[in-house]
C-alpha cells in the first residue's frame, strides 16, 4: 500500500441558501488527507456536512472555497465525467430495464471501451462481487443485497482511483448490512482502491474504517483509527457520538480531579494527564469500564436496570451526575433498583475532554 494521499481536501467550505434568505454553512474550512489504498469513513449525524463533502469530491457540488486534489491534481473544477472517481449511492440507481450485465457495462460503453474488453470487465466484476451466473437477471429479480453488489460491480468495473460510497448499506436489514460490511472490506483489500464511505452509523464506521473522520456542524472534529476515536475522544461530542459514554462533571486542579461522590483522583493517573485545564471540566468514561459494589454507604443509587441480551445496563444516580454502567449478563447478579452502590474504575479510563 502506498503511503501518500490519494485524495487531499484543503480548507473546503460550502454554504447553501435557505428559503428564509439566510444560509447554512454545510462545510466550514474542512481539510483531510486520504491515504492511498485506505478505507476512510466520514461519520456524523444528519446535517453535519459529510454527504456534502462526498458530493464535492464526486463533482455533484462545487465548493465555495478550498481545493480538492486527486493524486496532487486539482479536480474541484473538473467535470463529473472526467474525474477518476466513481460513486455508489444509497438508492443503487440501477436501470430496471437492463440486465445485471448491461447495468455493469453501461458506463464502459459510454467511455467507448471495446466490446471484448467490456465483456472481460463485466465478468471480472461479477466474479469480484460473487454474482457470477446472474448477469442475465434484471434488478427486480435480485435481493436488496444482490442489487447493492451490482451497484458496486458497476462502479468497480471502471477502475476508479477513489470509490465514493454514500450510505450504501442503510436500506439493508441488520443481517444483510453486517454481511455487506464484510464484503466491502474484502473488496477494498483485494482491489487496493481507496474507499471513502459516508455513514451516520457508529458501529459501521468502527467495523469498516482504517481511518474515521468525525464531523460536527460542518467541521471535522477528530480523525483517527477506530481505536483512537473510541478510546481517546478529544471532545464531549466525539465521546458521546462514538459508542456510549458517561460525560461526568468534575473539578480539576493542578494535581487532582474531583468527582462528586467519588472523591479526588491523582491527575497524573488519568488517561490524558497532559490536559491541564483547571476548574470545572467534563470527563468521559465508558460504561464497560465501571464496576459496581453494593454497599450500605455507597455514594450512588441504582435508578434503573435493563436487560439487553449480552449486557445489563444499570443507571446510577451519583449526586449531580448519572452513570450508565454495562455489566455482562452472564456475570454476577446485578444490583436491584434503589440499592446503594459504590462505582469504581481505573483512573486511566477517565479522559478530560476539550470544550470543542
Specify the DSSP class assigned to residue 287.
G
Which region holds residue 297: left if phi is over 0, alpha if psi is between -120 and 50, else beta? alpha
Q: Which domains does the chain have, with CATH numbers?
A: 5-231 (3.40.50.300), 244-352 (2.40.50.140)
CA distance 214 to 250: 25
pTM of the model: 0.89
**CA distances, 334 to each of 167, 244, 290, 318 (Å):** 38, 20, 13, 17
Given the DSSP bridges, would you call strands 85-88 and 73-74 parallel, antiparallel or unpaired?
unpaired
Measured CA to CA, the distance from residue 110 to residue 121 in angstroms comes to 14
Alpha-carbon distance of 208 to 176, in angstroms, equals 15
Residue 223 near residue 215, CB atoms below 8 Å: no
Q: What is the spatial distance between Cα 15 and Cα 64, in angstroms, rounded to a whole number?
A: 7
Strand partners, 266: 256
Q: What is the pLDDT along the chain (356 residues), one digit of tens a residue?
A: 445 689 999 999 999 998 888 899 999 999 999 999 999 999 999 999 999 999 999 999 999 999 999 999 999 999 998 999 999 988 878 899 999 999 999 989 988 989 999 999 999 999 988 899 899 999 999 988 888 889 999 999 999 999 999 988 887 777 888 888 888 999 999 999 999 999 999 999 999 999 999 999 999 999 999 999 999 999 999 999 998 999 988 888 888 889 887 888 988 888 888 776 678 889 999 999 999 999 998 989 999 999 988 899 999 998 888 999 999 888 778 899 999 999 999 888 999 888 76
Amino acid at each position: 500500500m502506498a503511503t501518500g494521499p490519494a485524495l487531499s481536501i484543503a480548507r473546503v467550505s460550502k454554504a447553501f441558501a435557505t428559503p428564509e434568505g439566510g444560509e447554512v454553512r454545510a462545510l466550514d474550512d474542512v481539510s483531510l488527507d486520504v491515504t492511498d489504498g485506505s478505507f476512510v469513513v466520514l461519520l456524523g449525524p444528519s446535517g453535519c456536512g459529510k454527504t456534502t463533502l462526498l458530493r464535492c469530491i464526486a463533482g455533484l457540488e462545487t465548493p465555495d472555497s478550498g481545493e480538492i486534489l486527486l493524486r496532487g491534481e486539482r479536480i474541484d473544477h473538473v467535470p463529473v465525467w472526467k474525474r477518476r472517481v466513481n460513486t455508489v449511492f444509497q438508492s443503487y440507481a440501477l436501470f430496471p430495464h437492463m440486465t445485471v450485465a448491461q447495468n455493469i457495462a453501461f458506463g464502459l460503453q459510454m467511455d467507448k471501451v471495446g466490446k471484448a474488453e467490456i465483456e472481460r470487465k463485466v465478468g471480472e466484476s461479477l466474479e469480484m462481487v460473487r454474482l457470477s451466473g446472474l448477469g442475465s437477471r434484471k434488478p427486480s429479480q435480485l435481493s436488496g443485497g444482490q442489487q447493492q453488489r451490482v451497484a458496486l460491480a458497476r462502479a468497480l468495473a471502471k477502475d476508479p482511483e477513489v470509490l465514493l460510497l454514500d450510505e450504501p448499506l442503510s436500506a439493508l436489514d441488520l443481517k444483510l448490512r453486517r454481511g455487506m460490511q464484510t464484503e466491502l472490506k474484502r473488496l477494498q483489500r483485494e482491489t487496493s482502491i481507496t474507499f471513502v464511505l459516508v455513514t451516520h452509523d457508529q458501529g459501521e464506521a468502527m467495523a469498516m474504517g482504517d481511518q474515521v473522520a468525525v464531523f460536527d456542524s460542518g467541521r471535522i472534529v477528530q480523525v483517527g483509527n477506530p481505536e483512537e476515536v473510541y478510546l481517546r475522544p478529544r471532545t464531549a461530542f466525539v465521546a458521546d457520538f462514538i459508542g456510549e459514554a458517561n460525560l461526568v462533571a468534575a473539578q480539576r486542579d493542578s494535581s487532582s480531579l474531583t468527582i462528586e461522590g467519588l472523591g479526588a483522583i491523582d491527575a497524573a493517573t488519568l488517561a490524558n494527564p497532559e490536559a491541564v485545564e483547571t476548574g470545572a471540566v467534563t470527563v468521559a468514561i465508558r460504561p464497560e469500564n465501571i464496576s459496581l459494589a453494593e454497599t450500605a454507604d455507597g455514594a450512588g443509587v441504582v435508578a434503573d436496570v435493563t436487560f439487553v441480551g449480552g449486557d445489563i445496563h444499570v443507571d446510577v444516580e451519583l449526586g449531580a451526575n448519572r452513570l450508565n454502567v454495562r455489566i455482562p449478563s452472564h456475570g454476577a447478579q446485578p444490583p436491584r433498583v434503589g440499592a446503594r452502590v459504590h462505582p469504581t474504575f481505573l483512573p486511566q479510563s477517565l479522559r478530560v475532554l476539550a470544550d470543542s
